[in-house]
Amino acid sequence: MREERPDAIIARDIGVRYDLRLTRHRTIRQTVAERVRQLALRRTANGVPATRTEFWALRGVSFRLASGEVLGVVGRNGSGKSTLLLTIAGILRPDTGFVTTAGRTATLLTLGAGFEPRLTGRDNIYLNGAYLGFTHRKMDAIVDEIIEFSELGTFIDAPVTTYSAGMRARLGFSIAAFAEPDILLLDEVLGVGDAAFQHKSRGKMRELMERASALVIVSHSTDFILETCTRALWLDGGTAMAYGTPDEVVAGYTESVRRSRGPIRTVFDGAR
Amino acid sequence: MTAPTIDATADSPLEGRLNRRAPLLRQGWQELVEISRFRPLVHHLVSSSLRTENAGTVFGFLWWLLDPLLLMVVYVFLIDVILRRGTPDYPVFVLTAVIAWTFFAGATRTSIGQTLAKERLMRQVSFPKAVIPLAATTAEACHFVFGLAVLTVFAIPFGIVPHPVLPFVLVVAAVQLVLTLGVAYLLSALNVFFRDTQHLAVYFFRLWFYLSPALYALADVPPRFRDVYALNPFTTLFTSYRAVLIEHTLPDLSALALVAAGSVLVLVVGYLFFSGTEHLFTKLI
């Protein structure tokens, strides 16, 4: 019953493996090790016990998203939702399978990540644009819009070190918003700046969502998924539990959350 | 609820891209095309590092001049004044090596540092990571070219006036650039996995500098060590720089060609190691 629209994203059998021996920063290592221990207790969804040296953040995930669709990804913490976004964005290379996208992808995670504090806001707009692969000419064309949207006024020619956290976030959002990706990837819908700017950024976000050829949104809010998305994907332990209409997928997910509440508590009680 | 599979029979333009695993050479070519698409990024990284590196210092850009000159003063004091082993043009002699070595060691050090510093960014934006060592090395190359200009002026009071053979120094510099970039790629990638690399590199480079004819001439080296010295690319590089800049003759071209070939090999190996491991950078930490 699928309409004949071109594909925006095809993911086939993607798996992302973390080699725990390569992970050295203690806090994260502990986090991942913790996760592995949980997995070893529960076993992964496909019945393979996780070993201590590797951890599959995603395993055998396949889906196909037509352009014009909005995909919502649901799942518990650590189910691989963010890993999936990073893989679609091309930041993580899948260890198995393939993912292809039609057009440029961008995450709004990027807010101000590439700022060079000693450069001015204006220089940082150009630098950020360069990270996104834009030419100088393209940036010349949009730099004024970005500055206006950020409401930084004359501060734009002051070094970014002198900015408050809110000013940085506003500049970061403005750059990301005017980058206009074909496929927009959102990890939770975020609020930036004061109430007025939040209102404005939400408006801009809606505009981006309308203009992008496809969207992938990770959210804990099932209501948001039901409202906004046209497709939904449920991840658990790195594997896809269901892919389909938001109604069906969210129903399955909430049912499983309800059912699993008891057993998890028992495990913790037993450990104490 | 539909099963999480995709319809493999459907015809789609994306489908064609999906299964094609490019052969190695083609993949390498695609990577180079991608890096060249990010030329503006290299440009911005270079200009921002050149503009901000001396921010907050009293002397500012004067440090481009002061850095090599002060280092030269230290060596002249040590070798010429204390040990009395210098020649009349010893300051020019040692400055040549100091400038060239600063380029090599500085580019490698900043490449290692920048590759680590950009790690957070790498996990948020998808861009060819190979531009980082490239930009760091290019910024140091700018210092180097500036240093060469200073050197030619500095040499005039020593009776070494500019000569038509001088532009040949750029050929020697190009060979060193290739070698430097190769080593920068290799060590930058290695350091992501083994942070010990940056500490070991400091001592290794210092030893390498003293074992190269930088503070002394190759002629001062006992003949039985000359064969070993010939294996060091900086023996040829330092000697070539001095031939062009001080003696105003063409360097030993066959030795330089050999070093050039070796440098290309180092660059290919270094780049392949970097590009082969860069997808793991975002999985660390």
Contact B249, B163 (CB under 8 A): no
State yes or no: pLDDT of B8 exceeds 50: no
What local confidence, expressed as pLDDT, does residue A207 receive? 81
At residue A35 the predicted structure's pLDDT band, cuts being 50, 70 and 90, is: low
Element (H, E) at B204: helix B196-211
pLDDT of residue A227: 85
Q: Is B44 in CB contact (< 8 Å) with chain A?
A: yes
Of the partner residues B48, B126, B280, the one whose CB lies closest to the CB of residue A119: B48
* pLDDT for B62: 85
B138: confidence class by pLDDT, cuts 50, 70, 90: very high
Least confident piece of the model among A96-110, A127-141, A180-194, B139-153 = A180-194
Closest-approach residue (CA) in chain A for B7: A64
pLDDT score of B2? 42
| Reported pTM | 0.84
Quick check: B126 pLDDT over 90?
no
Residues A229-254, mean pLDDT to the nearest whole number: 92
- What mean pLDDT do residues B98-106 have? 96
- DSSP SS3 for B251: coil
> Which pair of structure tokens corresponds to residue A56?
């599959």
**Domain boundaries in chain B?**
37-281
The residue extents of the domains of chain A are: 7-102+220-271, 108-182+191-211
Lowest mean pLDDT among A201-205, A212-216, B13-17: B13-17
The rounded percent of chain B whose pLDDT value lies above 90 is 65
pLDDT of residue A50: 47
Which of A52-66, B24-38, B74-88, B134-148 is predicted most confidently?
Answer: B134-148
pLDDT in the model for residue B210: 95
Strand-pair partners of A9: A65, A101
Nearest CA in chain A to B44: A127
User: Which segments within B52-137 are labelled E, that is strand?
Assistant: none
* Phi then psi dihedrals of residue A73, to 5 deg: -110, 125
Chain A residues with CB under 8 Å of B193 CB are: 22
> How much is the pLDDT for B4?
45
ipTM of the complex as predicted: 0.81
CA dihedral for B264, B269, B275, B280, sign (positive or negative) = negative
Fold of the domain built from segment(s) A108-182+191-211: Rossmann fold (3.40.50)
Residue A43 touches chain B, beta carbons under 8 Å: no
Per-residue confidence at A52, pLDDT binned at 50, 70, 90? low
pLDDT (mean) for B19-43: 82
Tell whether the model's pLDDT for residue A224 goes beyond 80: yes
- Cβ pair B4:A61 closer than 8 A: yes
Higher pLDDT, residue A97 or B54: A97
β-partners of residue A58 are: A16
For residue A159, list its beta bridge partners: A120
CA distance A120 to A136: 16
For residue B26, what pLDDT is reported? 82
Where is mean pLDDT largest: A66-75, A191-200, A262-271, B252-261? B252-261
B1 exposure class (CB count in 10 Å sphere: 0-12, 13-18, 19+): middle
Determine the pLDDT at residue B257. Answer: 97
Question: Could you give the 3-state DSSP secondary structure of residue A139?
Answer: helix
pLDDT of B21 reads 57
pLDDT of residue B14: 66
Helical (H) or strand (E) element with A38? helix A26-42
Asked if the Cβ–Cβ distance from A91 to B124 is below 8 Å, we say: yes
Which pLDDT score, from 0 to 100, does residue A272 have?
A: 33
Contact B284 A252 (CB under 8 A): no
Quick one: which of A71, A70, A72, A43 has its CA closest to A59?
Answer: A43
The residue-averaged pLDDT of A250-258 equals 90
Dist CA A119 CA A161 (whole Å) = 8
Q: What pLDDT was estimated at residue A42?
A: 56
Instruction: Tell whether the model's pLDDT for residue A106 goes beyond 90.
Output: no
Number of A/B CB contacts below 8 angstroms equals 121
Whether A32 has a pLDDT exceeding 70, the answer reads no
> Does B283 sit within 8 Å of A136, measured CB to CB?
no
Given a contact cutoff of 8 angstroms between Cβ atoms, the answer to whether A125 and B31 are in contact is: no
- Helix (H) or strand (E) segment spanning residue A174: helix A165-178
CB-closest option in B17, B55, B279 to A100: B17
Asked if B41 lies within 8 A of A136 by C-beta distance, the reply is no
Look at residue A62 in the predicted model and tell me its pLDDT. 93
Distances (CA, A) of B241 to A5, B98, B119, B236, B244: 63, 11, 37, 9, 5
Torsion of CA A83, B41, A128, B63, to 10 degrees: 120
Confidence of residue A193 (pLDDT cuts 50, 70, 90): low
> CA of B196: how far to CAs of B192, B193, B199, B202, B208, in Å?
9, 9, 5, 10, 18
pLDDT of residue B25: 80
Any chain B CB within 8 A of the CB of A19?
A: yes
Q: Which of B14, B15, B125 sits opposite A113 (nearest CB)?
A: B125
Residue B56: pLDDT above 70? yes
A28 at the B interface (CB within 8 A)? yes
HSE-up of A63 (CA within 13 Å, CB side)? 28
Q: What is the DSSP code (8-state) at residue A182? A: S
Judged by a CB distance cut-off of 8 A, whether residue A105 touches chain B is: yes
Per-residue pLDDT at B16: 57
Instruction: Tell me, yes or no, if B23 comes closer than 8 A to chain A by beta carbon.
Output: no
Determine, for residues A133 and B38 on separate chains, whether the beta-carbon distance falls below 8 Å.
yes
Mean pLDDT over each residue of chain A, to the nearest integer: 81
How many whole angstroms separate alpha carbon B194 and alpha carbon B190?
6
Q: Please, are residues A219 and A225 in contact by the beta-carbon 8 Å criterion?
A: yes
- Which pLDDT tens digit goes with each residue over B200-254? 999 999 999 999 999 999 999 999 999 999 999 999 999 999 999 999 999 999 9
CB A75 within 8 A of CB A220: no
What tokens appear for A122 in the block? 């204006």
Helix and strand numbers (H, E) in chain A are 8, 9
- Give pLDDT, residue A72: 92
Q: Is the predicted pLDDT of residue A29 greater than 80, yes or no?
A: no
Domain pair A7-102+220-271 / A108-182+191-211, same fold? yes
Residue pair A201/A192 in contact by the 8 Å Cβ criterion: yes
Residue B157: the pLDDT is 93
**How far apart (Å, rounded) are the C-alpha atoms in residues B134 and B270?**
12
**What is the least distance, in Å, from the CA of B15 to any CA of chain A?**
8
Task: Give B27's pLDDT tier (boundaries 50, 70, 90).
Answer: confident
Q: How far is B125 from A133, CA to CA, in rounded Å?
A: 10
pLDDT at B136: 97
Which band of pLDDT confidence, cut at 50, 70 and 90, is reported for residue A2?
very low
For A7-102+220-271, which CATH class?
Answer: alpha beta
Burial class from Cβ neighbours inside 10 Å (0-12, 13-18, 19+) for residue A262 reads exposed
Is B104 or B61 the better-scoring residue by pLDDT? Answer: B104
Q: What is the mean pLDDT of chain B?
A: 89
Structure-model confidence comparison of residues B85 and A263, the more confident one: B85
The whole-angstrom distance between B42's CA and the closest CA on chain A is 8
Is A118's CB within 8 Å of B55's CB?
Answer: yes
